[in-house]
Amino acid sequence: MPKASELKRGHVVELNGHVYVVQNVDVRNPTSRGANTLYKVRFSQLPDGGKHDVTFTGDDTVKNVALERRQVSYLYREDDLLTFMDIEDYNQYSLNASAIENQAPFLSDGLEGITALLIDGQIVTVELPSSVVLEVTECVPGMQAASATGRTKPAKLSNGLEIQVPEYIKQGEKVKVNTETGKFMTRA
């Protein structure tokens, strides 16, 4: 059983009979003497995705959940169902898009490097790679001398996601996007 001070993003734990994945940990150090360090943890409930915030002290413990991690690739979306395929044994897993609403915009057909988290053979969530490469499908024309400035412009990517990119990026170029922040990283 890990202590609250050991929790990191992506850990899966059980609280009050429900399974949660850690989304964010905020550490607060009180200024008074003898006060305990507080860990404010934001959880997302599995598999339906409801949010839950809990504040722990450093010595509080949480219960680990036995889960299996499998490497999968994203196949397609049908209505609200996302389908993934296991890279090793070609099993297919379906997951409701609302369970991963923050990650779904980064999915594109054939995306690999995804880790599926399974409990009793059922997919409950996925972990995306830290960055994905997508093509710019729409943006205003690039400026020739814009590389020296830090200005940005909106761009629509091949999977429908809209992000801010530097002015020198042109339509048809591929860009690397951070999946945690949703921000432009570099040209690909």
Within 10 angstroms of residue 114's Cβ, the number of other Cβ atoms is 21
Read off the pLDDT of each residue in 118-145 and give the average, rounded to a whole number.
Answer: 84
The pTM (predicted TM-score) of the whole model is 0.72
Q: What is the mean pLDDT of the chain?
A: 85
Beta-carbon contacts of 89 under 8 Å, excluding residues fewer than 6 positions away, are none
Using an 8 Å Cβ cutoff, are 111 and 130 in contact?
no
Better-predicted residue by pLDDT, 33 or 25 = 25
Q: How confident is the model at residue 145 (pLDDT cuts 50, 70, 90)?
A: low
Domains of the chain: 4-64 (2.30.30.30), 68-127 (2.40.50.140), 131-187 (2.40.50.140)
The predicted structure's pLDDT at residue 70 = 92
pLDDT (0 to 100) of residue 126? 87
pLDDT mean over 32-36? 71
